[in-house]
Chain A
Amino acid sequence: MKQLRTLVLSVLALFAIAAFAVKVGDQAPDFTGTDSHGQTHKLSDYKGKFVVLEWHNNGCPFTKKHYDSGNMQRLQKEWTDKGVVWFTVISSAPGTQGYVTPEQENAYMQKMHAVPTAALLDSNGQIGHLYEAKTTPHMFIINPQGQVIYNGAIDDKSTSDPSDINGAKNYVSEALQEAKAGQPVAVATTRPYGCSVKYAN
């Protein structure tokens, strides 16, 4: 009986995942996440602001490309200074690459001078599956009305080579600039690139 219930719940969970494939123009699915300081954040509480979601794995070469070069931190600083809410989301399951305890994440952010609004620890993959986050990094932007306005890669150079950052077209910055100026986002959906998100198998 218990097994049956588990099965039914798993099947329902699968349907839920399929139903919530996040597309640009859709209402962003709401979530509540706990950050590395133990504070909870509910997405819908940030209505009225732009919100960036950044999928993260500190051991992934593609994530390292953007952190060791300081590129991600520059973006976090620039856009949070302009009132954007920036959530780094870590969906690595315990025992997989990128999984961190709150203390480890705080030490990492301090060492790397990372300045997101908060780092959400999503080791059960709930937020990741809700957004179908595929890679690290995988970027989403949500507008003040709560709609997804960007879903995809951080930029147009899908490599792990830091020397490719210079001259790359940063999709996140372009989308935020356009949206903040009241313009439609020209490039709103791209193929995210990077390492697979290390969900529990």
Chain B
Amino acid sequence: MTFCGISCAQSRAAKQHATLSLVSDKSFLTPGTSQWIGLRFELEPGWHIYWTNPGDSGEPPKVTWQLSKGIQASDLRFPAPQRIADHGLTDYGYLGQVVLLSKLTVPASVTSTNADIAADVRYLVCREVCVPAKEHLAIAVPLEGNGKESAEVGMIRAAAANLPKPLPPGVHVSATLKSDNFVVTVTSKQGDFGVVSDFIPFDAQVIENSARPVIEHSKDMATMTLKKSEQLNQPVTALRGLLIAKAAYEVSIPVKGSKAPGKEGSSKKAVSTIQAPKSNKE
């Protein structure tokens, strides 16, 4: 069921595989503050869109904002994706519904009565086949106002609460490269950290996406074996990504014993000067 209130712009396209809307948590913007704006995708059953690292195939959504003078939008923030199997490949993305967030910063100097918030969204929606789509979404939000929250406030709050979190204090992570695997150790004295269940990489050429982590648990500790990507051709000093336990935690796991790029490697294999393609992060 589609729900779209006053601070909400909606568009249907890509042969109805996705319905997009722009949602704001308040019915007004306050100069001198910042607040979330959400880009909601409601997807037809079985269809999916992609995370910032799409995995083995696909492409993340891309947003270009057009905003009233002075207002700035942060990069899109994505919740943790799910693994999606695709003809033997593994992709990272979302089925069902997802809200991507951006933080709007409104300078104190803004004097107009309304702020125009528009987004040009380019995305790929897939189920067996992929369909590229472009959407233009726009809403006009009053500046200042009666202080009322919008009808979508719950959705925005839930999306913000669902964003990856920094690793809590008391949880320690490290990794070593052992032949074709990264062995990650997670130690936690935090009772509510939960059970480590997955690692999803930010970088595209580091971990073999289709090889699910092998995880062994012992008291206060989890050991996770991740298969190195065959496309990894430069030294890795840290594994950047999401560690999934009770929540998704954003981590940069130092790889012990790794040589910084440029230093002499001890490996017999020649370290080539291959550069990884730029990540797809906006």
Contact = CB atoms under 8 A, between A and B. Distances in A.
Interface of A: 21, 23, 59-62, 96-97, 134-135, 152-153, 156, 158-161, 186-191, 193-199, 201
13 contacts: A21-B230, A60-B130, A62-B130, A97-B128, A135-B89, A159-B62, A160-B59, A160-B132, A191-B231, A193-B57, A194-B57, A195-B58, A195-B130
Interface in B40-60: 56-59
Contacts of A153: 277
B192 to A, nearest CB: 36
Interface of B: 56-59, 62, 86-89, 122, 124, 126, 128-132, 204-205, 229-231, 233, 272-278, 280
A55 B48 CA distance: 23
Contacts of B275: 187
A61 B131 contact: yes
B124 A61 contact: yes
Contacts of B274: 186-190
A135 B56 contact: yes
Contacts of A199: 87-88
B272 A188 contact: yes
Nearest to B233: A189
B27 to A, nearest CB: 35
Contacts of B277: 153, 156, 158, 190-191
A191 B204 contact: yes
Nearest to A196: B87
Contact of A198 (B59, B87, B272): B87
Given A134-B56, A158-B277, A197 B128 contact: no
Interface centre among A96, A134, A195, A196 (most CB of B within 10 A): A196
